[in-house]
């Protein structure tokens, strides 16, 4: 005899993730208008609800069932006989989207592929906005968090804590928190979220705050409606603290809307001019859900069928542009055409069975910093953030401390001609005693350094950059990668260092004259490995050297605030921490011009 669901009420409950629709994205704030705008052209069909269960609230539920060929069938097709049923295998996915109106706000719950229907309309900060109204900043509540770097070499991090962390213990500088797993106590569950004492059986409950808000409690349909009402009420309260150090520009109010329009136009113009002049834009290129994107199995840029770009690795912006031009798709003669023909193309990632992991336009995958009317703004995860004076002041203070401690004004004294590239500068060191030029040598896809400077006491691994600008982030990432690889190499047989020397010496047979000159250098008697073997890591120094391109004389030691690129400053700050984390010493040099 089957069990009646009324005898097993737990079967009627689920842990539900609730999101908020950004009403300013619609022509009208009316609940039904918003729902119709989202679902109008979709495959989702509206379901009829019992009035008793909605109790007069605004609730609309939609359902879809899709069948897709299983991606792995193609792998076995060559081995299968033509009549085998496996060839017709399909994955069936059931999905739902449930809209709930509360006051002037519209909330939404999704399941299956329903998230893709609403993802472009969600308030990305909803869960965080709830959390900062439920907990105190100094409360030991945090179990784990995910942050996004607005600058620097780290795209984002997931961190898990053995105990419970306070947000006051976190270094929030230069980060935007995207997800926090926290613990809520009984008082919060009873007083703020409307649970009864009978429903609260444990002393605490976990919650996940991101673009959605999720409690680690299974609740029924009616309780979900009550929870939505409570969340709507909580949003009307002032926050207990500010979580992020840069200011989100919301799409509310005519002044903000005009600013967002201007920023969007300026961003597209910067991207257009970079691509027109065959420069790789100084922006990160990754989906906002970077973990799902970077761990996906395959990627595709939709260019209408046969010209689609596919890859088993995350697609690089430069590779994408080359593909567009090779396929004759580069017809962007104006910024407007560039927007339509390039930036609005879809980039989709898939898991190993062919289901979508992430999806978004090319523009939505770009993240970086631009200037507008004398102020600096970050474009990150489809949102614009204003860099306030407090952020810049704190950045300058921390960066100045690094410069005061690690600036070296004696290591590299030869002048840098800013009209020419870095190799023209390193050419001056070819043949010098105690110096090896290695700026064209790549081992394991890593450039270890531009110069290796050494004596009996010291070993300097030098990377050189023309300009102290936003592209400093790329060099910082390269230096960090080299530091990690050499630290690993020191624990084994120095195979990486041996490979570098072998490649450098092999240039004797190269038709390239410069490679021949690099090969002809006088290497140490015991080889490059002899410079590293037996030397403690803290006696090896990674050095970041740059030549300022400004027409006006300025020095980073005394005129830091006159250097405009916040990305360059934070990249320097972050790099000094990473290099020292691996055990090395660190120096920064401003080259003479």
By percentage, how much of the chain surpasses pLDDT 70? 94
Q: How far apart are CA 53 and CA 62, in angstroms?
A: 16
Q: Pick from 123, 157, 192: which residue ends a domain?
A: 123
Tens of pLDDT along 80-93?
Answer: 999 999 998 888 88
Q: With 90 as the cut, is the pLDDT of residue 374 above it?
A: no
Residues whose CB is less than 8 angstroms from the CB of residue 196 and which lie 6 or more positions away in sequence, other chains included: 190
Going 574 to 146 to 130 to 383, the CA torsion angle's sign is positive
Same domain, 583 and 436: yes
Residues whose CB is less than 8 angstroms from the CB of residue 543 and which lie 6 or more positions away in sequence, other chains included: 408, 411, 460, 461, 462, 463, 586, 587, 588, 589
By percentage, how much of the chain surpasses pLDDT 90? 46
Tens of pLDDT along 213-235?
Answer: 999 999 999 999 999 999 999 99
Q: How far apart are CA 355 and CA 351, in angstroms?
A: 5
Same domain, 365 and 479: no
Residue 394 within any structural domain of the chain: no
Same domain, 54 and 164: no
Residue 294 within any structural domain of the chain: yes
**222 alpha carbon, distance to own chain's centre:** 37
Q: How far apart are CA 142 and CA 309, in angstroms?
A: 41
Residue 2 within any structural domain of the chain: no
Tens of pLDDT along 567-587?
Answer: 788 888 888 988 998 999 999
Same domain, 412 and 539: yes
C-beta of residue 183 within 8 angstroms of C-beta of residue 161:
no
Residues facing residue 377 across a β-bridge? 370, 386
Residues whose CB is less than 8 angstroms from the CB of residue 41 and which lie 6 or more positions away in sequence, other chains included: none
Same domain, 277 and 171: no
Same domain, 134 and 280: no
Same domain, 477 and 333: no
Same domain, 238 and 309: no
Same domain, 557 and 423: yes
- Indicate the range of 14-18, 236-240, 249-253 predicted with least confidence: 249-253
Residue 1 within any structural domain of the chain: no
Residue 507 within any structural domain of the chain: yes
Q: Pick from 62, 95, 123: which residue ends a domain?
A: 123
Same domain, 474 and 563: yes
Residue 37 within any structural domain of the chain: yes
Three-state SS for 350?
strand
What pLDDT was estimated at residue 458?
Answer: 92
Q: How far apart are CA 45 and CA 410, in angstroms?
A: 72
Same domain, 44 and 29: yes
Residues facing residue 65 across a β-bridge? 94
Q: What range defines the domain where residue 528 resides?
A: 399-590
Q: How many folded domains does the chain comprise?
A: 4
Residue 586 within any structural domain of the chain: yes
Residue 354 DSSP one-character state: S
Residue 392 within any structural domain of the chain: no
Same domain, 311 and 424: no
Tens of pLDDT along 117-144?
Answer: 998 899 888 999 999 999 998 888 999 9
Q: Pick from 189, 212, 245: which residue ends a domain?
A: 245
């Amino acid at each position: 005899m089957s069990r009646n669901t009324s005898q097993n009420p737990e079967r009627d409950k689920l842990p539900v993730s609730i999101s908020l629709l950004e009403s300013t994205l619609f022509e009208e704030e009316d609940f039904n208008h918003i729902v119709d705008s989202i679902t109008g052209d979709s495959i989702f069909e509206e379901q009829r609800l019992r009035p008793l269960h909605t109790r007069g609230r605004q609730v609309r539920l939609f359902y879809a069932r899709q069948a897709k060929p299983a991606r792995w069938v193609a792998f076995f097709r060559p081995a299968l006989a033509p009549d085998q049923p496996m060839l017709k295998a399909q994955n069936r996915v059931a999905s739902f989207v449930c809209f709930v109106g509360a006051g002037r706000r519209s909330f939404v719950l999704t399941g299956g592929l329903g998230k893709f229907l609403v993802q472009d309309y969600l308030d990305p900060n909803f869960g965080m906005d709830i959390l900062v109204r439920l907990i105190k900043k100094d409360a030991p509540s945090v179990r784990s968090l995910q942050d996004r770097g607005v600058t620097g070499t780290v795209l984002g991090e997931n961190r898990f804590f053995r105990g419970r962390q306070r947000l006051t213990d976190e270094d929030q500088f230069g980060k935007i928190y995207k997800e926090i797993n926290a613990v809520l106590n009984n008082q919060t569950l009873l007083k703020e979220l409307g649970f009864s004492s009978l429903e609260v059986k444990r002393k605490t409950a976990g919650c996940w705050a991101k673009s959605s808000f999720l409690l680690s409690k299974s609740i029924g349909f009616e309780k979900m409606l009550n929870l939505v009402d409570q969340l709507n009420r909580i949003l009307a309260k002032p926050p207990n603290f500010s979580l992020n150090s840069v200011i989100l520009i919301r799409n509310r109010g005519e002044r903000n809307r005009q600013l967002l329009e201007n920023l969007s136009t300026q961003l597209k113009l910067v991207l257009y001019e970079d691509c027109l002049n065959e420069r790789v834009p100084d922006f990160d290129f990754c989906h906002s859900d970077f973990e799902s994107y970077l761990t996906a199995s395959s990627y595709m840029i939709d260019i209408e069928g046969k010209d689609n770009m596919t890859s088993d690795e995350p697609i690089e912006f430069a590779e994408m542009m080359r593909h567009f031009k090779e396929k004759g798709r580069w017809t962007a003669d104006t910024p407007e055409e560039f927007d339509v023909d390039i930036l609005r193309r879809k980039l989709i990632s898939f898991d190993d069975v062919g289901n979508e992991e992430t999806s978004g336009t090319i523009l939505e995958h770009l993240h970086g910093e631009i200037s507008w009317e004398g102020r600096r703004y970050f474009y990150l995860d489809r949102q614009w953030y204003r860099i306030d004076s407090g952020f810049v002041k704190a950045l300058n203070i921390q960066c100045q401390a690094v410069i005061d401690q690690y600036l070296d004004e004696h290591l590299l004294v030869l002048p840098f001609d800013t009209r020419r590239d870095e190799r023209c500068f390193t050419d001056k060191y070819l043949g010098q005693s105690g110096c090896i030029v290695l700026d064209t040598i790549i081992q394991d896809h890593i450039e270890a350094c531009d110069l290796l400077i050494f004596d009996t006491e010291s070993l300097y691994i030098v990377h050189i950059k023309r300009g102290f600008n936003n592209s400093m982030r790329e060099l910082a990432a390269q230096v960090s990668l080299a530091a990690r690889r050499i630290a690993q190499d020191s624990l084994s047989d120095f195979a990486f260092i041996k490979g570098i020397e072998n490649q450098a010496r092999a240039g004797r047979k190269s038709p390239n004259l410069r490679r021949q000159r690099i090969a002809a250098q006088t290497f140490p008697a015991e080889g490059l490995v002899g410079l590293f073997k037996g030397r403690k890591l803290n006696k090896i120094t990674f050095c970041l050297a740059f030549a300022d391109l400004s027409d006006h004389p300025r020095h980073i030691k005394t005129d830091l605030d006159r250097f405009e690129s916040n990305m360059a400053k934070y990249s320097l700050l972050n790099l000094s921490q990473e290099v020292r984390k691996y055990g090395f010493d660190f120096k920064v040099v401003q080259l003479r011009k």
